[in-house]
Chain A
């Protein structure tokens, strides 16, 4: 019999019951929440006179609507404020293990605060009404984004109705070049398999290049699994995982810690495990990436040229390229490095952790943001990240270079707060989606790594960060 994949192990240890058609009830260990996708779920519970099954599974924080400056003015948009107040009231009524309200010193993006507080642990099932829940798979946890009806279902039953996905292994062997980051790895994968390449799969990222990443880097890779279509991305637990978790507030303590670490050592795919699909890439072949279109799969190495729709045989794809070029205001065949930018956003659940800010600061140090760049924002992922960065003097590096140093939150990744692009504005962004209107109606988003975003801010256009260091 073939060995088990990590996904098999995580799945099998959480199946409460299985129906004859393969539909399973999967037990959920950790329920993450933010203000946007939870109010209707709590309302549903209330209407049915139900309680939360296990409120100590809940970790919650408002992050999408919260402003990143002028906290003294509170939340000025009354609709945003009502949503944040609703989360406050719901947590007060139903309870939670961890809740950081707006302005709490540890508040931040849910996918940043759960790991940094040790609330995401290997072997867990993790859900959140947010597609970037895939992030937590970096800890060998099975982490799914879910809809609001499912949020209500998990609140009421501590389970999720699921069928097992197929398994895919993406194996990246070798050493990443200088200036090539986890973000570039993830974008290169999406460029290769497409935004639907992982649909119906749980993707395990493996190989020496993945093992060589920090936990921050692994979170970036798993975060973007959803942009490849996979509801979950996972990475085996190892000594890097254990070292990251040791001493975090909600990580196990004492004998529990020792027992947990022993168990976590088993959370990897067996050597003879079989995957439904295996994809291999060489780390050395990956270059800094820049998206040019309106889907994360429309991505190129920074040395590339914007595609020409005339070269696309498939009519639906050709129309897609034409539409993307028109929306993005780009000419076919122009070099990526000729694209001038108006704004820069360094932040989001993809790239707002301390390592991301350090990488951007290295590039920005002693330089100035180019004159054509109207706004360059740095938005740390949490209060903890912010304080750490300030202790290291990164905030000074950014502000002296002309970046704005903001308070934590989701910010301009999806522009639910005041941070957004105006129509036609072009942004170098470390976030995760370059969809039409994502960062503001008519806004044009190019996804890049933090180092590439900082380099673009300084140059005023995209530039190969490897030539700047």
Chain B
């Protein structure tokens, strides 16, 4: 996994609550057996006016000009600003894969759905929970200011606006350590393989039917 330390990135505002993972990456793209290449199909049904199929070349597809991701001022955005319950619905990790492949590294919202939230950390995408007031403020500033960028510092757990307004965000020590160092969990967990084996033996002794 790529490490994440610090980012000064252009912000794209997606002003909708309850954005579900079916909208982030529609089901037809889930037929891929790869982890990469989902970026061109991110928000496919909102982004294009024709029906997308897996493997389709998106360079000539008709764009929905009204969709925020297609507006010239948000091209190259790395920070996605969203509303409540972002990433709800299906557990598909293809959603953060598409978000990361498109180029977003940070999502800021008042709340996230649980499974999507943990999937982000596995893919070097930092989900930041901010209060509804702060998110409202960022939406207003972003819409009013062309080229609006946020400075995100993971070590300090801060987000800073162009005018110097700053807020802190929470992250568990474990997730922070993994993201800062680009570590994935499996290697870290296997360092405790003996403990897992010992647990497994004990568990088998008390509930042998689970191992039948």
Contacts and interface: CB of A to CB of B under 8 A. Distances in A.
Interface of A: 13-14, 16-17, 19-23, 25, 27, 29, 36-37, 39-40, 43, 48, 50, 53-54, 56, 64-65, 77, 79-80, 82-83, 86, 121, 123-124, 129-131, 133, 145-150, 152-153, 156-159, 161, 163, 165, 195-196, 199-200, 229-231, 250, 252-253, 256-257, 259-260, 263, 295, 316-317, 319-320, 323, 414-416, 433, 435-438, 441
Interface of B: 15-18, 20, 22-23, 26-28, 30-35, 45, 51, 54-55, 83-85, 88-93, 96, 111-115, 118-119, 122-123, 172-175, 184-186, 189-190, 192-193, 195-196, 199-200, 203, 207-212
Contact of A121 (B33, B83, B89, B209): B209
10 smallest CB-CB distances across A and B, nearest first, come from A252-B209, A149-B122, A147-B119, A147-B93, A39-B33, A196-B85, A131-B91, A21-B173, A148-B93, A23-B174
Given A231-B115, A416-B31, A441 B173 contact: no
B210 A121 contact: yes
Contacts of A65: 31
8 contacts: A23-B175, A27-B196, A80-B31, A147-B115, A149-B119, A152-B186, A195-B18, A316-B15
B174 A320 contact: no
A145 B115 contact: yes
A437 B45 contact: yes
Given A130-B91, A435-B23, A256 B119 contact: no
A121 B51 CA distance: 42
Contacts of A150: 118-119, 122
Contact of B113 (A48, A153, A199): A199
B209 A256 contact: yes
A366 to B, nearest CB: 37
Contact of A27 (B23, B89, B185, B203): B203
A48 B186 CA distance: 10
B89 A433 contact: yes
A347 B30 CA distance: 21
Given A149-B122, A196-B85, A435 B30 contact: no
Given A150-B122, A437-B22, A157 B186 contact: yes
Contacts of A50: 186
Query: Chain A CB within 10 Å — which of B91, B118, B199 has the most?
Result: B91
B196 A158 contact: yes
Given A37-B30, A40-B93, A435-B22, 19 more contacts: A27-B200, A27-B203, A36-B30, A37-B93, A79-B54, A79-B55, A145-B115, A199-B111, A199-B113, A256-B209, A257-B209, A260-B209, A263-B207, A295-B18, A317-B17, A433-B22, A433-B89, A435-B20, A437-B45
Nearest to B132: A316
B209 A200 contact: no
B122 A37 contact: no
A263 B203 CA distance: 13
